[in-house]
Amino acid sequence: MRRSLPLFVLAGATLGTALLGNTDTPSNYPVLGKINRFDERLGNLIDEDAEIEVIASGFVWTEGPAWNKEGRYLVFSDIPRNVVMKWSEAEGLSEYLKPAGYTGIVDYGREPGSNGLLFDAKGRLTLCEHGDRRVSVLTKDGGKRTLADNYRGSRFNSPNDLVYHSNGNLYFTDPIYGLPERQDDPRREMDYCGVYLLRPSGEVVLLTKEFTRPNGIALSPDGQTLYVAQSDSAAPIWRSYPVKADGTIGEGRIFFNALKFKKDGVGNPDGMTVDQKGNLWATGPGGIYIFTPEGELLGRIETGEHSSNCTWGDDGSTLYMTVDMYVCRVRTKTVGIGF
């Protein structure tokens, strides 16, 4: 077992390296946390001796990890700093994009930057922007294009997370976390938090407003089930919905209720991803939950910190996780969707 460094030492050392521009990468990484096994079937997905490696740290609040397969690098948001960072095994850590989610001139609260990130089928970075209250895409030739910033003339609250369907449809959530005064912000133009469909034509469709705090979002491998997380401490749940032929959704059901797990650690249902077998890897109270497609809980990757999101990288078998001030990874025996 590798040594686990004290968290405050780890954070300071890694941030100092980043600020000095030293991109040397270590031959191995500190580890933290543990993997809690609730079902023996988890052994088909993660080895018993798998470790949670900390590959970068010293951030304020990390979110939205996304893997670029062509360039073999990870990007992620540091929301309070309004920056997207880049990390690769070969080059280490560097700044990728700033400003990332807010381009205004007045103070915009605690979380102005980008949140969810995703590379589209053309390899372009798609962003959920808190401060500019839009979903945008970073073009390869420079500059951003706005994909959507309103529904029927009312500005979004603060787009949070997103997922592409294989047909080009884009699904995203819109809670209030990016508004400086959140639900009481005078700039708010909607009295609900929605889940939306953005068609390739540019049409925005409101799918549901039944969530108090919609957050993470994902699709099953066949694109026929949409998962949405609710980051509400009073109702920390994941819902699943059948996806209709026109891209809209049918009646949903509670996929999993994590209320009884709230005592296990910090966090609420947040970002998530899916592997090729349809297992859902979802951040929640105490870490990253691993569910079968039927909603059976197999285990939990327990980081000891507030886990916000996760994605697949490398050859598709490495799960990268944004965990409060850290970025972590764990090797698995499965392969993520999209690889």
* Verdict on whether the full-model pTM lies above 0.85: yes
From 324, 233, 334, select the one nearest 290 (Cα to Cα).
334
In a domain, 45, yes or no: yes
In a domain, 336, yes or no: no
In a domain, 266, yes or no: yes
Chain-wide mean pLDDT for the chain?
92
Contact in structure between 11 and 78 (CB atoms under 8 Å): no
Contact in structure between 64 and 77 (CB atoms under 8 Å): yes
Counting the structural domains of the chain, the total is 1
The pLDDT tens digits of the residues spanning 126-161 come to: 999 999 999 999 998 878 999 999 999 999 999 999
In a domain, 236, yes or no: yes
In a domain, 1, yes or no: no
Enclosing domain of residue 129: 7-331
Burial class, 222, CB count within 10 angstroms (exposed 0-12 / middle 13-18 / buried 19+): exposed
In a domain, 295, yes or no: yes
In a domain, 33, yes or no: yes
The pLDDT tens digits of the residues spanning 238-251 come to: 999 999 999 999 99
The band of 18, judged by pLDDT with boundaries at 50, 70 and 90, is very low
* Planar angle of CA 301, 120, 209, nearest 5 degrees: 70
pLDDT at position 28: 81
In a domain, 339, yes or no: no
Read off the CATH number of the domain in which 31 is found. Answer: 2.120.10.30
Element (H, E) at 11: helix 7-20
> In the predicted model, what is the mean pLDDT of residues 170-193?
96
* Largest distance between two CA atoms of the chain: 56
